[in-house]
Amino acid sequence: MITTTARRRNAGLLAMAVLLTAAFFLAPPLLLGPGRLAGFPRAFAAYWSSSGPDFPPDLQHLIDYQFHYHLARVMIAVPLLAVLVTLAVLLRRFRLPIGALALAVAVLLIANVQGAVSPFGTLLPNLASGPADAGLADALAQVRDQLHSGPMSPALHVMLDEYVRWHVTKGVLAALLAAVLVGLSVVAWRRRRRLLGLLTALLTVAALVVVAANVSIMANPNPPFLLLLQGSW
């Protein structure tokens, strides 16, 4: 029998989960303002033309915005994940849907940790997201030429380092998620919860595929980075 105290505790946790979910999507843009990503292609072209590793002010501003945006989301996603895990333990009847929500939040947490660790890396896909002006098209042509035949400029070395760091972070966090899923799968099979065990086993395989893909990219980043710049990532 559920006591009044337990009901109040569960209701408080549910309310906290709803508030944190709303904050995850609404708080960063409200606190930081719009990202103005439309200016990234021009800022990148200026960075590339400088040939050096240092970011010009306009690009540094966008990178700082990305860092703070993703950091804010990480700071919200961590307690949200903790609340959902607690609810999944307490509310046995709703363990599966709450667990699914917790998994979705874990995936979002991984993506935003990537963004905080490599904010410049999160901006790079925008280079291929729309029509390029003459300056950006020329810069991207030079990037592709250096990737194919070298030598690579200091700016390109920075870009590749950011790209690899982005995938290292994803690979490590996906491996941690896979380890947690393995543990859940083992517990489910021991308790004869076959459906839950099967689901967690399948999710473990998916997480390991992500780990393998990122390890492959780390080992040879140039071809996938070239695909990214061509919009095929």
Rg of the chain over all Cα atoms, to the nearest angstrom: 21
d(CA 110, CA 171): 10
Domain that holds residue 49: 4-229
Q: What are phi and psi of 231, to 5 degrees?
A: 80, 20
Dig out the tokens for 75 from the structure: 């700071």
Amino acid in the structure at residue 162: E
The 3-state DSSP composition of the chain as helix, strand, coil percent (nearest 5) reads 85, 0, 15
d(CA 15, CA 207): 30
Amino acid in the structure at residue 25: F
Altogether, the residues listed in the chain come to a count of: 233
Q: Per residue in 106-144, pLDDT tens?
A: 999 999 999 999 999 999 988 877 666 777 888 889 999
- 18-38 mean pLDDT: 89
**What pLDDT is attached to residue 195?**
83
- The total domain count for the chain is 1
- State the DSSP string of 25-88: HHHHHHHH----GGGHHHHHHHHHHH-SSSPPHHHHHHHHHHHHHHHHHHHHHHHHHHHHHHHH
Q: Per residue in 142-167, pLDDT tens?
A: 999 998 887 899 999 999 999 999 99
Q: Which of 169, 131, 159 is nearest to 226 (CA)?
A: 159
Which pLDDT band holds residue 1 (cuts at 50, 70, 90)? low
**What pLDDT is attached to residue 137?**
86
**What pLDDT is attached to residue 232?**
59
